[in-house]
Amino acid sequence: MEKIVIITGGSKGIGHGIAEVYHKNGYRVISISRTTLKKEYAVEQYPCDLTDLQQLEKTITEIFSHLDKTNTSILTLFNNAGSLGTVNTLENISAENISNTIQINLTAPLVVSSLFIKFTKGWDCKKRIINISSGAAINPYGSWAMYCSTKAGLDMLTKVVAKEQKKIKNGVKITSVYPGVVDTDMQEEVRNTSKENFKSVQRFIDFYEKGALATPKQVAEQIYELDMNGKLKNGKIIDVRNYK
């Protein structure tokens, strides 16, 4: 029987770490992102821009056409891909950027989760959704209006779906995970923002200079352990920093 992970944004950063760790532990891993890695081990890669909902729906449908419910023991979806969008106070952000950032961080997880639940209806395997959220869901940072709002929305998605699925026989279990501060392109982007546009920038420069950032591999291993040890409870919001 196959253990399978479907992950958005498995091409870089935390998502790449998760893809590697689950693959190393015997999972078939299927990643969805705009860029694909040339010399990638056995991770199956589907190029797709999460802001294109038609393409996204087509991609998820295509992925499921290659899965076999009679040969699957665990199927886990990671809604991991994310974007800060333009980092600036709200009045300085274009409508297009607001809309795109919401699509990547919130609409795509809603759509992918919806299709995941629909397509796995009646499957006997363990079914899980893990949403990679952020402490920004509960801490308002100036200049991160879309990021904070979409992560708060993602956590509410976790709570609502948990409630819906609890009533269903072998329903999907869903959890939000805050990965902490991790050394990825996204963090570099944060540090490279001007103080004028992002008042908290020094806090993130300090994290970096003090060596306080976790590596994607470390965080991925921690998430894997929490998953395997049954710590990712249905409907819960988990901060990995509380489990060190």
Ligand X SMILES: NC(=O)c1ccc[n+]([C@@H]2O[C@H](COP(=O)([O-])OP(=O)(O)OC[C@H]3O[C@@H](n4cnc5c(N)ncnc54)[C@H](OP(=O)(O)O)[C@@H]3O)[C@@H](O)[C@H]2O)c1
Taking the complex as a whole, the smallest distance from the CB of residue 187 to ligand X amounts, in Å, to 5
Active site residue 147: yes
By three-state DSSP, how is residue 139 classified?
coil
Say whether 214 sits in a helix, a strand or coil. strand
106 three-class SS: helix
Tokens representing 220? 């991925």
For ligand X, the closer CB: 72 or 105? 105
* Minimum distance of ligand X from residue 34's CB (angstroms): 3
Of 120 and 216, which has the nearer Cβ to ligand X?
216
Question: Are 45 and 31 within 8 A, CB to CB?
Answer: yes
Instruction: Give the residue ranges of DSSP H helices in the chain.
Output: 13-24, 53-65, 95-102, 108-119, 145-166, 185-191, 201-209, 216-228
Q: Which residue has the tokens 């949403």?
A: 131
User: H or E element: which one contains 45?
Assistant: strand 44-47
In the bound complex, what is the minimum distance in angstroms from residue 124's beta carbon to ligand X? Answer: 30
Taking the C-alpha atoms of residue 40 and residue 57, their distance in angstroms, rounded to an integer, is 24
**Secondary-structure breakdown of the chain: helix, strand, coil percentages, each rounded to the nearest 5:** 45, 20, 35
Closest contact distance (angstroms) between CB of 1 and ligand X is: 28
Q: Which is nearer to ligand X, 15 or 153 (CB)?
A: 15
Choosing from 22, 27, 147, 178, the catalytic residue is 147
H/E element holding 199? none
* Residue whose CB is less far from ligand X, 134 or 143: 134
The residues that touch ligand X, with contacts defined as CB under 6 A, are: 8-9, 11-15, 33-35, 49-51, 80-83, 104, 132, 134, 179, 181-182, 184-187
Q: Output 72 or 82, the one with its CB closest to ligand X.
A: 82
Phi/psi for 146 (5° steps) reads -70, -40
Instruction: Find the shortest distance in angstroms from Cβ 241 to ligand X.
Output: 11
Helix (H, G, I), strand (E, B) or coil at 174: strand
- Residues annotated as catalytic are 147
